[in-house]
């Protein structure tokens, strides 16, 4: 039993204890590296034997060749005369082991162990990063901006000990982020990539608004008030449908807060984005009418063919308000309710301008499938 072998296996045990990398895993990687080295330096194919046994401190590397009368493949065969140099009793047909000096493989073993350790540390770090991201998946987090790409405008941010990228398309409107800023972002998803785990983050996702209200409104956090739906065009307007599970609590009032303080804080965080808070109803007509706020609705008629479409009539003077700038109010109401909304004036009269607005409402207020 070699002292060098004993020291080798003792070192593996120490690495397992300190770095948390299993000794069996290290041995397998070292064995594979030694086989590659033997094939390169000594020939051989599948006839290489590497024995590493921590229980007995045995470390043996050998080439196993078959004894033949005439050698056709020198990597796997040897003559009887060659065989007798390793075993005096060898006869044709025997498989003889040619022992290789293990000292020359010490460097390979050490280098492989170092590589495996580095790889293990990287994998451990990736695992920790994945856990960090998964723990915060679909949650609101505060991130520190560490870098702004001058070409794309993308912001690199730190989330705990991990990094993520906030693309320009996921930033709100005209906001100008800069290094050192602390911003709230929503973790949309977590994915495993070639370079490690990646968190997809956003400031435009409706989930950001939902989580902000959960933070600001205790009644939402404790479940008394429930957010039923959110539709959003980031940087411009959001519609939020809420429902109270306590008849003594006004869902809309709770979200607005005393003197509008709660919703004002969220509006500031979103850079002045307008927020319409409406009361949710299981009754589609009531829900659709509320969703078109601030416009007043005269009537809501559901399409009888079950196409999840409806015809809404509003006062003539409020047709433009109901449709909104470039159809935004009608579009957000459709997304919020899940209904295709056709908005018409109460008079039923369409001039050329009216007809164009009506068509615009019908075209834009359709829920995206």
Only one residue has tokens 């870098």, namely 147
Closest CA to 243 of 278, 293, 295, 206: 278
The answer to whether residues 101 and 156 belong to one domain is: no
Structure tokens that stand for 180 in this block: 């050192």
- Is residue 289 situated within a structural domain? no
CATH of the domain at 13: 3.30.1480.10
Least confident interval from 132-141, 150-159, 177-186, 263-272: 132-141
Instruction: Name the E strands within 194-254.
Output: 196-202, 225-233, 237-244
Per-residue model confidence as pLDDT tens digits over 246-304:
999 999 999 999 999 999 999 999 989 999 999 999 999 999 999 999 999 999 999 98
In a domain, 135, yes or no: no
Residues 15 and 85 in one domain: yes
pLDDT in tens, 314-353: 999 999 999 999 999 999 999 999 999 999 999 875 543 4
Is residue 117 located within the same domain as residue 60?
yes
The answer to whether residue 286 sits within a structural domain is: no
In terms of domains, do 19 and 116 share one?
yes
Same domain, 190 and 300: no
Report residue 178 CA to chain centroid gap.
24
Q: Which residue range(s) make up the domain with 64? A: 3-130
Residue 355: predicted pLDDT: 46
Query: Which residue is listed with tokens 């998803």?
Result: 189
Same domain assignment for residues 251 and 354: no
Domain boundary among 199, 221, 245: 199
User: What residue ranges in 152-306 does DSSP mark as E strands?
Assistant: 155-159, 162-166, 182-193, 196-202, 225-233, 237-244, 274-279, 299-302
CA dihedral 183, 187, 193, 196 (to 10 degrees): 60
pTM for this structure? 0.62
Dump the DSSP string for 91-160. -TT-EEEEEE-GGGGHHHHHHHHHHHHHHHHHHHHHHHHHHHHHHTTTSEEEEEEEEE-TTT--EEEEET
Q: Which of 130, 160, 191 is the last residue of a domain?
A: 130
Taken as a whole, the chain contains a residue count of: 369
> What CATH number does the domain containing 245 carry?
3.30.300.20
Handedness of CA 301, 304, 310, 316 (dihedral sign): negative
């Amino acid at each position: 039993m070699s002292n060098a072998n004993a020291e080798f296996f003792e070192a593996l045990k120490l690495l397992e204890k300190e770095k948390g990398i299993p000794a069996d895993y290290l041995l397998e990687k070292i064995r594979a590296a030694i086989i590659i080295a033997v094939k390169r330096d000594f020939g051989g194919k599948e006839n290489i034997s590497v024995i590493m046994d921590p229980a007995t401190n045995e470390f043996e590397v050998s080439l196993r060749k078959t004894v033949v009368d005439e050698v056709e493949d020198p990597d796997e065969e040897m003559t009887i005369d060659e065989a007798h140099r390793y075993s005096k009793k060898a006869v044709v047909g025997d498989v003889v082991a040619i022992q290789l000096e293990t000292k020359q493989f010490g460097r390979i073993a050490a280098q492989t162990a170092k590589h495996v350790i580095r790889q293990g540390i990287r994998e451990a770090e990736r695992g920790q990063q994945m856990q960090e991201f998964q723990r915060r998946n679909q949650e609101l987090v505060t991130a520190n901006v560490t870098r702004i790409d001058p070409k794309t405008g993308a912001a690199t941010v730190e989330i705990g000990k991990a990094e993520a990228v906030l693309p320009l398309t996921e930033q709100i409107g005209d906001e100008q982020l800069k290094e050192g800023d602390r911003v709230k972002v929503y973790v949309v998803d977590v994915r495993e990539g070639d370079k490690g785990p990646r968190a997809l983050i956003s400031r435009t996702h409706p989930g950001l608004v939902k989580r902000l209200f959960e933070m600001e409104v205790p009644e939402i956090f404790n479940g008394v008030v429930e957010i039923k739906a959110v539709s959003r065009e980031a940087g411009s307007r959001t519609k939020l449908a809420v429902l109270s599970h306590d008849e003594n609590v006004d869902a809309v009032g709770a979200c607005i807060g005393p003197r509008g303080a709660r919703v004002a804080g969220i509006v500031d965080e979103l850079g002045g984005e307008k927020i319409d808070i409406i009361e949710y109803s299981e009754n589609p007509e009531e829900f659709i009418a509320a969703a078109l706020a601030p416009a007043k609705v005269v009537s809501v008629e559901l399409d009888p063919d079950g196409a999840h479409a409806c015809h809404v009539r509003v006062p003539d003077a409020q047709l433009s308000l109901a449709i909104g700038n470039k159809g935004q109010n009608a579009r957000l109401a459709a997304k919020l309710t899940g209904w295709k909304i056709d908005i018409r004036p109460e008079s039923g009269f369409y001039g050329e301008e009216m007809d164009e607005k009506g068509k615009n409402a019908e075209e834009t207020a359709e829920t995206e499938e």
